[in-house]
């Protein structure tokens, strides 16, 4: 009922016809150690050449966006400041990401805003800051 004849054994179907008569190599590897090392080096170089340009472009774009965003924040918060400085801080007091500082005379830099990991257009309030 199962479609198998009782006189056929399962062992006749164990070997694939493509592998009939196959003899493995005599203990020697197919490729030498030197060739395997060269192949691995080329693969690693290929992966690095694919990933590295996108990382460099991402960091460059984030740096440019942080500088422009910081310049706008400093112009809004401290119009008399001569310049601005955006730095990426991992263990900063305001968390991980880009931080904006105003450049003041005699090293009196002041924290202005936290720009986040991916800086963008700043959300500057419409009303000016009134100091007094």
pLDDT at position 127 over 60? yes
Pairwise CA distance, residues 93 & 41, whole Å? 42
DSSP string, 53-118: HHHHHHHHHHHHHHHHHHHHHHHHH-TT-SEEEEEEESS-TT-SEEEEEEE-GGG--EEEEEEESS
Where residue 3 falls among pLDDT bands split at 50, 70, 90?
low
| % of the chain beyond a pLDDT of 90 | 40
- Tokens of residue 125, six digits: 């309030």
Pairwise CA distance, residues 68 & 2, whole Å? 77
Q: Counting every residue, how long is the chain?
A: 132
Q: Stretch 8-24: mean pLDDT, rounded?
A: 63
pLDDT at position 53 over 60? yes
| % of the chain beyond a pLDDT of 70 | 73
Higher pLDDT: 120 or 27? It is 120
Which pLDDT value is given to residue 132? 46
């Amino acid at each position: 009922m199962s479609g198998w004849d009782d006189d056929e054994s399962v062992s006749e179907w164990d070997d694939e016809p493509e592998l009939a008569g196959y003899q493995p190599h005599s203990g020697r590897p197919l490729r030498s150690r030197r060739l395997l090392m060269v192949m691995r080096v080329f693969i690693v170089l290929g992966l690095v050449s694919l990933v590295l340009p996108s990382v460099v472009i991402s960091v460059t774009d984030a740096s440019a966006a942080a500088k422009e965003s910081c310049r706008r924040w400093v112009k809004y918060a401290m119009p008399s400041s001569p310049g601005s400085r955006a730095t990426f801080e991992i263990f900063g007091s305001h968390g991980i990401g880009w931080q904006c500082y105003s450049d003041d005379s005699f090293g009196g830099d002041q924290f202005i805003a936290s720009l986040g990991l991916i800086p963008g257009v700043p959300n500057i309030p419409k009303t000016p800051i009134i100091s007094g």
